[in-house]
Chain A
């Protein structure tokens, strides 16, 4: 089994709004897959279905060969028990657009709490582990800082360290740089690039096309709840087959070049 993620015919609606329509998606172990698409295209929802932060309506999700939910006789997706889901989630790291660091804990406490509470690791070991992870993202000097004392880029790197401390097999990134000031985007992308080089399997939703072009093994373009086109980044970016992909890229790239400072897309809900 060489697939880190194996999603088949996954559907999800919010009320009457069908957000994902029978999606199939595979991510090979060690690969970096970037999902692009306009806001409302379903890419964030798809990402959140991988660790069941959103419960899919139907379809199956396998992470490293293990099902993230049961399947009903009618093909519906059935949530696992709390305990089973927690166990599986702890092997999938997730980085959010708005960082979601715990404001009442210091940087190192943010990173330690998962290993201590979910894995039962001793405090001393956890401290060593957390120190290593924070050093890995270049924040060895910020161990005891509270999130409010850190810049957005630093906060996002702590969030990455927090996810890494759980020794995940797979990392999910949900627009990790969209809430950042433009000058802070680079440090977060650099950390992600480094992770990719170390062979981490990553599924990323982003608007950073340059980053996608350089780092992704595969780029997926979503539109209206469907995967319209996917392929190697050089092909997708320089020779997109589909008209929708072409017009999306045209708009996005012009936009990026024209106004560097636009930054925050609202999260699709």
Chain B
């Protein structure tokens, strides 16, 4: 092995890299929260009795699932100002694009979670006079949420990874900063190794937290 690893380039720029981590977490966190809202709406509409609503939701999911995330990011960044006349900052457009994309997947998770709840639960709720909305949020969703937890964590993990694409639009997240350092220090291998490790740590922590939460929820079962 002729190559000699030298992590000094990483260590001396540590603060710069870690600041990128905050940007990554901010973008991911904001997109995750927004995607839960989008997903809840998409998932519930998909199960609606109304054909038009459920078709719109289906079409949305297919559109988001079958186009590349990078294309969606670029499209939202350039086209939303043209279509709406509103100029968003780069970070905002990135969060919008990522939440729309993840929202489609969350929508499928919500749909699966709701459909997994026994029909008898809905019937029992209706016979004691709960409205369909009350039935949804007091009876069905709390039970669906437990089934949804594991797939939602998977979705959050993909979101963390997909967020690296915002570097293409010049958002100075973890990946962007790594690219900058790689070209200025001529140590791309070390820098990208550490970059990979950083993503690994974030995603692993996320999965760990979720398994803890899942176990706590299981206690009341």
A residues lining the B interface (CB < 8 Å)? 51, 53, 82-83, 86-87, 89-90, 92-94, 96, 98, 100-104, 113-114, 117-119, 146, 148, 159, 162-163, 165-166
Contacts and interface: CB of A to CB of B under 8 A. Distances in A.
What is the interface of chain B mostly: helix, strand, loop, or mixed?
helix
A252 to B, nearest CB: 26
Contact of B127 (A103, A104, A146, A163): A163
B208 to A, nearest CB: 24
B120 interface: yes
A96 B120 contact: yes
A53 B123 contact: yes
Interface of B: 118, 120-121, 123-132, 134, 138-139, 142-143, 220-221
Contact of A90 (B118, B128, B220): B128
A269 to B, nearest CB: 11
Contacts of A103: 143, 221
The 7 A-B residue pairs with the shortest CB-CB distance in the complex, in nearest-first order:
A90-B129, A118-B129, A114-B128, A100-B124, A100-B120, A94-B127, A104-B142
B44 to A, nearest CB: 16
Contacts of B124: 94, 96, 100-102, 159, 162
A162 to B, nearest CB: 6
Given A102-B139, A146-B220, A148-B221, A86 B126 contact: yes
B128 A166 contact: yes
Contacts of B125: 102
Contacts of B132: 82
A114 B139 CA distance: 11
Given A103-B143, A117-B138, A98 B120 contact: yes
22 contacts: A51-B127, A53-B123, A82-B131, A82-B132, A86-B126, A87-B129, A92-B127, A94-B123, A100-B120, A102-B139, A102-B143, A103-B143, A103-B221, A104-B220, A113-B128, A113-B138, A114-B130, A118-B130, A119-B129, A146-B221, A148-B221, A163-B127
A96 B123 contact: yes
A113 B126 contact: no
A142 B130 CA distance: 24
Nearest to A115: B128
Given A53-B123, A86-B126, A104-B143, 11 more contacts: A51-B127, A82-B132, A90-B129, A94-B124, A103-B221, A113-B130, A114-B129, A118-B128, A119-B129, A146-B220, A165-B128
Contacts of B121: 100, 102
Given A102-B139, A103-B143, A146-B221, A117 B120 contact: no
Q: Which of A86, A87, A92 has the most CB of B within 10 A?
A: A86
Q: Which of B120, B128, B131, B134 has the most CB of A within 10 A?
A: B128
Contacts of B123: 53, 94, 96, 100
Contacts of B131: 82-83, 86, 118
Contacts of B134: 117-118
A96 B118 CA distance: 13
A117 B134 CA distance: 8
Contacts of A53: 123, 126-127
Contacts of B142: 104
A162 B128 contact: yes
A100 B118 contact: yes
A96 to B, nearest CB: 6
Contact of A163 (B120, B128, B143): B128
A90 to B, nearest CB: 3
